[in-house]
Amino acid sequence: MIASLTLILFCQLVGEVIARGLGWPIPGPVLGMIVMLAALGVRDRIRKYRPAFGRQVDATGQGLLAHLSLLFIPAGVGVMQRLDILTEYGWALLVALVVSTFITLVVTVLAFVFVSRLTETSARGGEGSSARE
């Protein structure tokens, strides 16, 4: 577990180095996830390391997800320390949260409908004519 946690944190570190070194406006952890995705893609091509590496990283990820709520405590403390900003821009933040949540829901529904129709069409195309039509 220590090795896979080290790998996850190393990918985040690489992402931070890339983001800060190149001055990109992308957060380091996002770039770290891209690095991790590339590492997992390479892992799938190397059969020798696939079983152990996959299980260790998967177990560590599941452990982190099980305790994800604990990672929000520092953010909550940071908000409480800056209540002056929250009172000054509270309505604007509330509107931004509501609008962005609504847009996210609409885009998610549209993506689901698109993929659903796409998979339904491909399933029909493979069967020929079905009795339901």
What confidence tens digit (pLDDT) does each residue in 48-93 have?
655 555 677 778 888 888 888 887 888 888 888 888 888 899 899 9
Residues 79 and 49 occupy one common structural domain: no
Q: What are the distances in angstroms from CA 119 to CA 106, 125, 130?
A: 20, 10, 15
Q: Are residues 133 and 83 in the same domain?
A: yes
Give me the residue label for tokens 């709520």: 69
Over 50: is that where the pLDDT of 6 sits? yes
Q: Are both 35 and 76 inside the same structural domain?
A: no
List of long-range contacts for 77-84, beta carbons under 8 Å, 24+ apart: none
Q: Domain residues for 85?
A: 72-133
92 and 132 fall within a common domain: yes
Q: Which of 43, 66, 89 is the last residue of a domain?
A: 66
pLDDT score, position 14: 93
Question: Which amino acid does the sequence have at 18?
Answer: I
43 has a pLDDT exceeding 90: no
Burial 42-77 (b: 16+ CB within 10 A, else e): eeeeeeeeeeebeebbeebeeeeeeeeeeeeeeeee
CA distance 120 to 114: 10
Domain boundary among 66, 88, 119: 66
- Which among 50, 66, 82 is the end of a domain? 66
Domain count, the chain: 2
Residue 133: HSE in the Cβ half-sphere, 13 Å Cα cutoff: 8
* pTM, rounded to two decimals: 0.52
* Res 124: pLDDT: 74
